[in-house]
Amino acid sequence: MKFNVSLADFQKALLKNMPAIPRKSTLPVLEHLHFSLSGETLRIVSTDQDITIMTTIKVEGTEDGTVLVPGRKIGDLVRTMPTGSIEFNSNNSTYEIKLKTSTGKYSLRGLNPDEYLDIPELFSSEKADMEKVKEQQGVSSDKPGTIFFKRDEMSWLADKTHFAVSTDEFRPAMNGVLFQFRENYVNAVSTDSYRLVKAVIHPEKAAFPNEIDLIIPARAIELLRKVDSDVSMSIIETRGKVTHARFDVGDTVFITRLIDEKFPPYESVIPSNNELVATINQKDILSAITRIANCTSEHNNQIKMQIDKNSISVSGQDEESGTEGDEGITCDFNGNKITIGFNYKYLQDAISNIETSDENQAVLLTFSEPTRPVLIKPVAESQDLLMLLMPVRLS
């Protein structure tokens, strides 16, 4: 295999594949990138068996071939190279790899590409015709198929839900984001049992599959946060069962295994009778939380909020170090004084992820009782973004 390529393009392609390269694997072959050159097209594949990524780039190819390239090694090496171009040359018999730039020469030891894993989810599936998918938007179905998302729709759903995904390996159903396709809209929901986020999109022209629920793992959600173009999402079935999702984004495709678990019935924990409403300035409350956080215990991250008619007192203390702090901000509250405790990190995450189009940067906190779930929402009537947070018992 032999080709020349712009270093900038090569660096970008390698970077896209890095998330699927494990740091250390019981299968050393997974620590390699599968390079395949055909004409002017170089295809780069990486997988850790849960996520598979394939990126294609245009190169000046002079000799076709395939080789397995040490993933982290070439990624780290190419990332530090200066601008210009790079010549890649691998021996099809010994799999020795030679790299040449304007300033240096490098050698790597590759592997026989025949040792790579068979990935039917990738090589048996095909990239959807994006234009055709767009044309079909508006035709609903109760069967999995190909679904089109605009870049900002997909990245917004992923970005607003990623932080509330559970990391508890004993709760696998909550280790991802639930996507609920409901014909004319999509719900994206995440929870770790202490907090819950629900984000909804209502595209102007779209008819998604109806009554189809999928749990997309957290690592795939991180990739979806960073998409740089529109997305076509395809559902892959194995022996009649939905097992994977394929995402085509520009010249990159990645495939993720779906979480085969039942997501908790989250609707039942969203309160409908939170009649106490506090309207606060987003910037003011975040600034107060940030400062008081320095006075809290590292063991529980607990802060206390006393909410009155026109003010909120935010306080925290750390008995071990003897540190404490108390700060007041203005608010508009429709109830009598209430005292409530929070994990400040969870509260900070929730409030900072609210998008305020209101000129006063207002955010709503709604309550019923100090021990019941709190809803955090924008002032706008739209229910497209909702944050739920469980208070903590004050010690």
Q: Based on the domain organization, do 250 and 277 belong to the same domain?
A: no
Lowest mean pLDDT among 53-57, 224-228, 367-371, 377-381: 377-381
Per residue in 271-327, pLDDT (tens digit) is 988 999 999 999 999 999 999 999 999 889 999 999 999 999 999 999 889 999 999
Whole-structure pTM value = 0.90
Arithmetic mean of pLDDT, 38-67: 96
The last residue of a domain, from among 214, 245, 267: 267
Please state, as a whole number, how many other Cβ atoms lie within 10 Å of the Cβ of residue 107: 8
Q: Based on the domain organization, do 139 and 255 belong to the same domain?
A: yes
Query: How far apart, in Å, are the Cα atoms of 170 and each of 173, 189, 191, 192, 262?
Result: 9, 19, 14, 12, 13
- Tokens representing 91 are 């021996």
CA dist 65 and 50 (Å) reads 27
Output the pLDDT for position 129. Answer: 58
What pLDDT band is residue 141 in, cutting at 50, 70 and 90?
very low
Q: Based on the domain organization, do 289 and 383 belong to the same domain?
A: yes
Q: Based on the domain organization, do 285 and 380 belong to the same domain?
A: yes
> Structural domain of residue 170, as residue ranges?
129-267
- Tokens representing 5 are 């390529």
The last residue of a domain, from among 237, 267, 297: 267
Arithmetic mean of pLDDT, 94-120: 94
Element (H, E) at 55: strand 51-58
Q: Based on the domain organization, do 154 and 256 belong to the same domain?
A: yes
CA dist 256 and 166 (Å) reads 18
Arithmetic mean of pLDDT, 104-113: 96
What pLDDT band is residue 380 in, cutting at 50, 70 and 90?
confident
Output the pLDDT for position 128. Answer: 59
| CATH number of the CATH domain containing 138 | 3.10.150.10
- Tokens representing 107 are 């050698």
CA dist 54 and 251 (Å) reads 8
Q: Based on the domain organization, do 178 and 243 belong to the same domain?
A: yes
Q: Based on the domain organization, do 210 and 231 belong to the same domain?
A: yes
Per residue in 149-173, pLDDT (tens digit) is 999 999 999 999 999 999 999 999 9
What pLDDT band is residue 210 in, cutting at 50, 70 and 90?
confident
What pLDDT band is residue 192 in, cutting at 50, 70 and 90?
very high
The last residue of a domain, from among 251, 267, 283: 267
Q: How many domains does the chain have?
A: 3
Does residue 277 lie in a domain region? yes
Output the pLDDT for position 99. Answer: 97
Choose between 392 and 143: higher pLDDT: 392
Does residue 236 lie in a domain region? yes
Q: Based on the domain organization, do 293 and 362 belong to the same domain?
A: yes
Output the pLDDT for position 139. Answer: 44
Does residue 248 lie in a domain region? yes
Q: Based on the domain organization, do 242 and 134 belong to the same domain?
A: yes
Q: Based on the domain organization, do 154 and 136 belong to the same domain?
A: yes
Arithmetic mean of pLDDT, 76-101: 94
Does residue 122 lie in a domain region? no
Per residue in 169-191, pLDDT (tens digit) is 999 999 999 999 998 999 999 99
Does residue 107 lie in a domain region? yes
Does residue 395 lie in a domain region? no
Does residue 196 lie in a domain region? yes
pLDDT at 140 over 50: no
CA dist 236 and 282 (Å) reads 42
Q: Based on the domain organization, do 172 and 216 belong to the same domain?
A: yes
Q: Based on the domain organization, do 133 and 249 belong to the same domain?
A: yes
CA dist 257 and 377 (Å) reads 32
DSSP category for residue 264: P
Does residue 124 lie in a domain region? no
Output the pLDDT for position 183. Answer: 87
